[in-house]
């Protein structure tokens, strides 16, 4: 307690020092607290469900790795044979039109098996869960559960709506329940309906007819490893029932938290490492401040030593002061971190909505407390040990000569070298990610994103009961869109590029090479109208589809992209060749340019296109406009109402915005890293300036003598600057070597940029050298203004 009271007095005695140190620590600890809150919410804190660690997501694993989700028939196999699970459920993405309650809207939702909410441990806050018979053959499948968000926004939070009928895709569904707020991790889900997998034969195949994701809850005492082993054994026993391409596939599982947020791990850990570097640099600066303050207390420490204080006792006193300082800085940092969380979440939402609460909870407080204490020990131990080991008799003799201690200079130099090296590492990583981002923005998308309006349509089954009805509906929509002034081209794809929601794929091969069948997976789209022309996808060989191709009686024809053409046919022309797709032979009539389907920084994949008549279930409209696309929004809505007054439009936007959104994760991470790197550079510059300024002050007598003896002012400036840059050069060299290793850790986040990029390293070296030069020049210039008479008189 005596140490603590004395430490408080010391901090109050030097308010300027205390304020600067607290501000430096608050920035470092606050940034760490905010980022750790995000790490905690996504990766560490259990999901909001009861016993969330027992909830698994189960997937098929192709022979070449990755995850393939599951299908209806595969889910049934797992449901029938899993003994380590207390419940298992499947969910399939759907979209339905809600009508009869104001303007028609398109809802995205899930067809789920009966145990879906029971696996999660969620109970509706109003109404009830699905009954088993509602998901079984012969049961009443026309029931629905909606989310709290939809209930509030579209039904005015009316509790009496439960038990009443709502219209989904023109069919009557009984609304049986409303979920609690944010009950589902997917915030784009508004409605749940029964999947009825065992009631529909087409859903029970083990290929891709009914893709779904499967979640399950472990029985008490069971392990995930046991479940994986059990399901792989079951799969092996049923292998003869599986498609041939799944012969070598296996089954795996992971926690629902890992399945949902595991992909964010490289990004949030990169941010956490970056703010950790900022905190270490802040520690170096505060350590330098404490070192100067400790050496200014030579007389006090000498008296303590003379009165019998041991070095350990002195170290304890000085550590008490540094830890107290760090705890106060940590308290300010927690407040700053808590204030940063909301802007961080809103800004991070650009990379995908964050569907969990990011808050300062017990884990975050413990982290901040631990970081504060550790920080206090780290930046306090170096000056404490340095002072405690000093021969104060010699030190006092040195003081009479007005020269700084060699020990102090060495310690300060080491700290400057350390923070310079850390700054180099952070700047190099940020530079690589910046160059990667620039390359991604300049990547050829394969289509023209300018002046393109896109939106999605979902056609209710009862209104378009046959394939012919669906084809005619889209044909009429496209005809009406072409009549809008300002619309140049109109087309339809089942999913437009970079839509962020839907993508369809299947296996393709050459019809004349059955021995190689099922070895290549390609994306596919159905198209109608002027889709390729509207997107600006060039025709390389052959022809586009004609209206005659879009008929159920027409021969099956297809268009493939350049990548698929080269993979299957090499330099041979594929026109007229037969492609094996969905167990049928398709004649290739055209080859088009490559399109980046997912985002600009993802490699091009094989792609196949077929006329809409062969896959009419999903429809995205693309309009090439001669005017700014969004100015036609109202006109497009009116034109669609003329075709069908109850047809809603979903996801109306521009293709340019879709492309920009595909890089949102990179943009968010890069922006935050840029802020941290800039902060690190600023702190490093302040540290260098502080050390050089202190050195000049201590050498006032020397500078006066040099100037009195005729030293030229440029020579004095050069001497001081060179001394400072020597330290920077050592730190720069160490940092460049260190960056070679750390850059490998972010290699997976780079696009067309090598982890070892000489131009980035050169730019970092130049930037840090220029900044350090400025930090050294200011105190050096001040040294030249020393009046020799005044300097000698003060001595």
pLDDT surpassing 80 at residue 475: yes
pLDDT, residue 115, reads: 96
Which pLDDT tens digit goes with each residue over 209-265? 888 999 999 999 999 999 999 999 999 999 999 988 888 899 999 999 999 888 888
Question: Residue 340: CB partners within 8 Å, gap ≥ 6?
Answer: 30, 31, 33, 34
The pTM of this model reads 0.81
pLDDT, residue 694, reads: 63
Mean pLDDT, the chain, rounded, equals: 85
Per cent of the chain over pLDDT 70 is 87
> Which residues are 525's β-sheet partners?
609
What is the C-alpha to C-alpha distance for residues 427 and 732, in angstroms, rounded to an integer? 11
Which pLDDT tens digit goes with each residue over 58-67? 999 988 777 8
Which pLDDT tens digit goes with each residue over 506-517? 888 899 888 777
Long-range contacts of residues 725-729, Cβ cutoff 8 Å, at least 24 apart: 725/769, 725/772, 725/773, 725/776, 727/413, 727/416, 727/417, 727/420, 727/688, 728/416, 728/420, 728/688, 728/768, 728/769, 728/772
pLDDT surpassing 60 at residue 608: yes
pLDDT-based confidence at residue 190 (cuts at 50, 70, 90):
very high
Q: Which residue stretches of 40-172 are H helix? A: 72-81, 116-120, 148-154
Which of 646 and 488 is assigned the larger pLDDT?
A: 488
**Average pLDDT of the segment spanning 72-93:** 95
For 317, 389, 525, the CA distances from 314, given in Å and listed in that order, are 5, 10, 75
Stated as kind and residue range, the H or E segment containing 20 is helix 15-39
CB 249 within 8 A of CB 68: yes
> Which residues are 584's β-sheet partners?
581
**Average pLDDT of the segment spanning 355-374:** 86
pLDDT, residue 391, reads: 57
Which pLDDT tens digit goes with each residue over 276-331? 888 888 888 887 777 767 666 666 666 777 776 677 777 787 788 888 888 898 89
pLDDT-based confidence at residue 793 (cuts at 50, 70, 90):
low
Helix %, strand %, coil % of the chain (to 5): 55, 15, 30
pLDDT-based confidence at residue 400 (cuts at 50, 70, 90):
very low
pLDDT, residue 404, reads: 41
Residue 55 DSSP SS3 = strand
**Average pLDDT of the segment spanning 618-629:** 94
Question: Residue 121: CB partners within 8 Å, gap ≥ 6?
Answer: 49, 50, 51, 55, 217
**Average pLDDT of the segment spanning 715-743:** 80
Strands (E), 613-667: 619-625, 650-654
pLDDT surpassing 80 at residue 6: no
**Average pLDDT of the segment spanning 70-86:** 94
Which pLDDT tens digit goes with each residue over 522-573? 889 999 999 999 999 999 999 999 999 999 899 999 999 999 999 999 999 9
Which pLDDT tens digit goes with each residue over 631-673? 999 999 999 999 988 888 988 999 999 898 888 878 888 888 8
CB 1 within 8 A of CB 646: no
pLDDT, residue 643, reads: 92
Which pLDDT tens digit goes with each residue over 448-457? 999 999 999 9
**Average pLDDT of the segment spanning 606-611:** 95
For 467, 492, 711, 725, the CA distances from 718, given in Å and listed in that order, are 83, 69, 11, 10
Nearest to 558 by CA among 532, 540, 576, 535: 576
């Amino acid at each position: 307690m005596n140490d603590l009271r004395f430490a408080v007095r010391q901090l109050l005695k030097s308010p300027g020092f205390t304020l600067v140190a607290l501000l430096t620590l608050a920035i470092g600890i606050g940034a760490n607290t905010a980022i750790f809150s995000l790490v905690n919410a996504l990766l560490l804190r259990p999901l909001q469900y009861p016993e969330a660690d027992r909830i698994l997501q189960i997937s098929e694993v192709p022979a070449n790795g990755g995850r393939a989700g599951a299908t209806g028939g595969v889910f049934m196999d797992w449901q029938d044979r899993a003994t380590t699970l207390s419940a298992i459920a499947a969910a399939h993405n759907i979209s339905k039109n809600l009508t009869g309650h104001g303007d028609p809207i398109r809802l995205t939702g899930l067809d789920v098996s009966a145990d879906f909410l029971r696996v999660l441990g969620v109970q509706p806050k109003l109404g009830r869960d699905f009954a088993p018979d509602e998901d079984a053959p012969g049961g009443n499948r026309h029931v629905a559960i909606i989310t709290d968000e939809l209930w509030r926004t579209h039904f005015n939070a009316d509790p009496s709506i439960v038990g009443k009928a709502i219209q989904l895709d023109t069919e009557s569904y009984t609304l049986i329940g409303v979920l609690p707020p944010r009950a589902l991790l997917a915030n784009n889900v508004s409605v749940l309906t029964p999947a009825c997998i065992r009631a529909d034969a087409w859903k029970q195949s083990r290929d891709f007819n009914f893709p779904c994701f499967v979640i399950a809850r472990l029985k008490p005492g069971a392990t995930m490893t046991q479940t994986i082993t059990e399901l792989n054994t079951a799969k092996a026993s049923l292998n003869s029932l599986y498609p041939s391409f799944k012969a070598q596939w296996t089954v795996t599982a992971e926690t629902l938290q890992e399945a949902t947020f595991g992909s964010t791990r490289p990004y949030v850990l990169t941010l956490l490492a970056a703010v950790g570097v900022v905190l270490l640099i802040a520690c170096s600066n505060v350590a330098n401040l404490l070192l100067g303050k400790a050496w200014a207390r030579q007389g006090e420490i000498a008296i303590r030593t003379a009165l019998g204080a041991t070095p350990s006792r002195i170290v304890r006193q000085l550590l008490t002061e540094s830890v107290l300082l760090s705890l106060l800085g940590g308290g300010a940092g927690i407040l700053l971190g808590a204030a940063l969380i909301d802007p961080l979440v809103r800004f991070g939402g650009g990379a995908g909505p964050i569907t969990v609460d990011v808050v300062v909870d017990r884990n975050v407080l413990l982290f901040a407390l631990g970081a504060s204490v550790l920080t206090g020990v780290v930046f306090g131990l170096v000056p404490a040990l340095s002072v405690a080991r000093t021969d104060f008799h010699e030190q006092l003799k040195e003081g009479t000569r007005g020269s700084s201690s060699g020990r102090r200079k060495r310690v300060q130099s080491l700290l400057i070298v350390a923070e310079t090296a850390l700054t180099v590492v952070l700047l190099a990583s940020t530079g690589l990610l910046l160059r990667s981002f620039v390359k991604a923005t300049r990547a050829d998308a394969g289509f023209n994103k300018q002046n393109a309006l896109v939106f999605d349509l979902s056609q209710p089954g009862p209104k378009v009961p046959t394939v012919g009805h669906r084809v005619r509906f889209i044909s009429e929509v496209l005809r009406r869109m072409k009549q809008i002034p300002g619309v140049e081209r109109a087309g339809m794809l089942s999913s437009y590029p970079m839509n962020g929601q839907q993508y369809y794929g299947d296996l393709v091969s050459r019809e004349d090479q059955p021995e190689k069948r099922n070895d290549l997976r390609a994306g596919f789209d159905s198209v109608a109208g002027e889709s390729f022309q509207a997107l600006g996808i060039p025709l390389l060989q052959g022809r586009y589809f004609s209206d005659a191709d879009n008929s159920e009686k027409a021969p099956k024809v297809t268009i493939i992209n350049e990548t698929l053409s080269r993979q299957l046919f090499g330099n041979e022309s594929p026109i007229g060749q037969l492609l094996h797709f969905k167990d049928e032979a398709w004649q290739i009539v055209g080859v088009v340019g490559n399109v980046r389907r997912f985002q600009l920084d993802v490699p091009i994949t094989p792609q196949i296109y077929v006329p809409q008549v062969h896959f009419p279930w999903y429809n995205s409209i693309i309009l090439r406009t001669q005017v700014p696309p969004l100015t036609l929004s109202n006109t497009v809505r009116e034109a669609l109402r003329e075709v069908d007054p109850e047809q809603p439009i979903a996801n109306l936007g521009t293709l340019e915005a879709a492309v920009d959104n595909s890089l949102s994760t990179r943009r968010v991470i890069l922006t935050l890293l840029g802020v941290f790197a800039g902060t690190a550079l600023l702190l490093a510059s302040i540290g260098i300036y502080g050390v050089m300024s202190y050195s000049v002050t201590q050498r006032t007598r020397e500078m006066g003598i040099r100037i009195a003896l005729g030293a030229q002012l440029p020579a004095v400036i050069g001497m001081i600057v060179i001394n400072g840059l020597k330290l920077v050069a050592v730190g720069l060299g160490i940092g460049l070597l260190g960056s070679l290793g750390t850059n490998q850790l972010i290699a997976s986040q780079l696009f067309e940029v090598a982890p070892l990029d000489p131009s980035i390293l050169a730019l970092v070296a130049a930037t840090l050298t220029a900044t350090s030069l400025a930090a050294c020049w200011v105190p050096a210039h001040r040294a030249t203004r020393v009046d020799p008479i005044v300097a000698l008189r003060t001595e």
